[in-house]
Amino acid sequence: MINSLVFPRPSEAFKFASTRFDGSRKSKYSKPRMELTLTQPDDWHLHLRDGDLLQAVAPHSAKHFGRAIIMPNLKPPITTTAAAVAYRESILKALPANSNFTPLMTLYLTDTTSPNEIKLARRSGVVFAVKLYPAGATTNSQDGVTDLFGKCLPVLEEMVEENMPLLVHGEVTDPDVDVFDREKVFIDTVLQPLIQRLPRLKVVMEHITTMDAVRFVESGEEGFLAATVTPQHLILNRNALFQGGLQPHNYCLPVLKRETHRQAIVSAVTSGSKRFFLGTDSAPHEKQRKECSCGCAGIFNAPVAISLYAKVFEEAGALDKLEAFTSFNGPDFYGLPRNTSKIKLTKASWKVPDSLSFSFGNIFPMFAGETLEWQPCVGEKAEMLNEVQEVGANKG
């Protein structure tokens, strides 16, 4: 729902193209401002880390999202259901007292994962997917898979039986393959053969970055092949890594690509397709681990993600399709109920903090120090806005 609000005057609603606007009487004291009401989004790809870092960043995701698929690439990785249950408890303890945020756990697939572990995961009620990291592809992936078809086929077959999704970091690790081509080569050499061999396996291609990935996802069967998309890959291209000097806080994996790829991804997610849904890949690192001779990959976008997604959809003229991308497509793919709570986004400028300080150091959020145009609010603030809007409508 899209509303155009003006305070203190009430508004008169009219409908346009299945989206509600409120046309407001202008006054010399106030200007109309747009407001979105969305079903509370979920984050289908999130890194919360552990220890002090978990305590620092978990509240930022819990503030805006109802649920999140939690990545298992810790040290040591979350390879068993028992470890996933324990990690879930750590996350719950890190949340604010009044939080309703629900972590949806995943297992880290290895060459030695057993089919029985998949059975245990499904019966646990807390594990919702298995993550495939090709060994060496990204942060803490050294324990990942070295031979998917040779060593993991029985596990994949059990996942089909249990209707357990496979979440894929889609890049080859062959050093002879150019870093900007690794997603395409992975599609051709791993994902295409996988889908052909196990067509009933539910697969999510995570954080897609290329038009090749868009075409691949669109070519698959709806309900069995989908993709998550990050704010950074919708807004930035690879120039952002080098403008004004090396920009370590824009470095992530998969790495940012050409502008033509960015445009293809924007077109896909704003088209209304059910195959694409929100996955921030928010991946925090302490400042010194980003600004060093060998900096870590990952962008901490949890505080700004919702605002940035709204920016992308607004610029594409597709705000009426934002809610499906943020709030419907993900749970529908996973077979989970949609959230019933709401979140409000107001078209109002706000400044992203320059950094977030903690006892262990600083974390730089995406677009640190920049001004964004969509400000989210949830919970009591959202309810207050609802009440103001209803009172205004009744008086009008």
Active site residues: 45, 47, 131, 169, 207, 281
Q: Which two tokens stand for residue 375?
A: 């400000």
Q: How far apart are CA 106 and CA 103, in angstroms?
A: 10
Contact between residue 343 and residue 305 where contact means Cβ atoms under 8 Å apart? no
At 195, is the secondary structure helix, strand, or coil? helix
| Residue whose structure tokens are 């930022």 | 60
Report the relative pairing of strands 67-70 and 356-358 from DSSP bridges: unpaired
Q: What share of the chain is helix, strand, coil (3-state, %, to 5)?
A: 40, 25, 40
Helices 153-162 & 115-124, crossing angle to 10 degrees?
30
Cis check: omega of the bond before 8, within 30 degrees of 0: yes
Q: Which amino acid is at 334?
A: Y
Cis check: omega of the bond before 76, within 30 degrees of 0: yes
For the stretch 47-69, what's the b/e string if a residue is b when 16 or more beta carbons lie within 10 angstroms of its beta carbon? bbbeeebbbbbbebbbbbbbbbb
Contact between residue 350 and residue 356 where contact means Cβ atoms under 8 Å apart? no
Q: How far apart are CA 54 and CA 42, in angstroms?
A: 18
Residue-by-residue DSSP string for 36-97: EEEEPP-EEEE---SHHHHHHHHHHHHHH-SEEEEP---SS---SHHHHHHHHHHHHHHS-T
